[in-house]
Amino acid sequence: MGRGYNLLFILVTFLVLVAAVTAQGNRGSSRGGGGRRPRVGYYGNRCRNVESIVASVVRAHVRSNQANAPGILRMHFHDCFVRGCDGSVLIAGNSSERTAGPNRSLRGFEAIEEAKTRLEAACPRTVSCADILTLAAREAVVLTGGQGWRVPLGRLDGRISQASDVILPGPFDPVDKQKRDFAAKTLNTLDLVTLVGGHTIGTAGCGLVRGRFFNFNGTGQPDPSIDPRFVPLVQARCPQTGDASARVDLDAGSVGRFDTSFLRNVRSSRVVLQSDLVLWRDPETRAIIERLLGLRRPSLRFGTEFGKSMVKMSLIDVKTGSDGEIRRVCSRIN
């Protein structure tokens, strides 16, 4: 009887331990814990309307201010390139990522917060701010005429947001540096060219670009690599002594439409950022532009490739387990 009792005691103890571990796992899962890896359809019945809620909110904000579309797309890029796609760019604070120079002109924070508020009402403590931003970026593209794509979901929100961490590809970077920066994030040269093609919507500050159009490298003349017919158009928009905060289109003639116009402008040397213009001079990036424009075989469909590259970017350094959380409010850590 003693032996039987011991076996029974061992069995009961084992079952209690299994139940405890399972319960702990379930608690962690409900708070965004272990086992999460982004995948399409992640939320399932736990938040059936997540995509339609985000789409509805973004649609309203873009309708009220069209600058929100490129703003949200740019915000997603800035988020993913700093500590991964974890929504850390959304956190407010005196020294948060939002305060860093490249992020001070970001737009669309209100749209993300409104989507979060509505999702908390529908599915409390379920959908991360990182996922909301990822979905919102897709909607920004679709609302400006671009092709959609299926978005893997299941990211957690990061707990760290520091302005000192914000080191992003810059508007004056040569091609080789751009390639290195993207490769460091597991993105290849096709991803680089395709994602830069997102400049088909949006604007740049005159203070950032006008040096190339008035006094390139201290010569007192415009950058000779720019189409001379394009120079006076930008000079008129961004006078040498004018308002540095004024905006100029990144894609002349098609700024509000997500299409291949920007890539055609790169080919014609009619773009305002030096980092964009140099893509036509490099044989590798030039060949990709030609394929995306259907000028070289095998050709590539820009909309399809953009979606693929956005998915790759959205999976950079995603947070899992104890590395992340699901914030109640996107602008602050729980």
Active-site residues, by number, are: 78
86 has binding-site annotation: yes
Annotation-wise, does 251 bind a ligand? yes
Known binder of ligand: residue 12? Answer: no
Look-up: residue for tokens 């994602």? 195
Picking from 205, 24, 30, 172, the residue whose alpha carbon sits closest to that of residue 106 is 205
113: Cα separation from own chain's centroid: 16
- What's the angle, vertex CA 48, arms to CA 134 and CA 110, rounded to 5? 40
Residue 243 assigned ligand-binding role: no
Structure tokens belonging to residue 280: 């036509």
269 is in an annotated binding site: no
Integer Cα distance of 173 and 59 in angstroms: 33
> What tokens appear for 308 in the block?
């693929």
* 82 among annotated binding-site residues: yes
Handedness of CA 247, 250, 254, 258 (dihedral sign): negative
According to the annotation, is 200 in a ligand binding site?
Answer: yes
> What is the total residue count of the chain?
334
Among residues 256, 258, 267, which one has the least CA distance to residue 291? 267
Tokens linked to 73: 């797309």
Question: H-helix or E-strand containing 208?
Answer: helix 206-209
Cβ atoms 209, 273 nearer than 8 A: yes
Binding residues for substrate: 169
Binding residues for heme b: 199
Binding residues for Ca(2+): 79, 82, 84, 86, 88, 97, 200, 251, 259
Binding residues: 79, 82, 84, 86, 88, 97, 169, 199-200, 251, 259
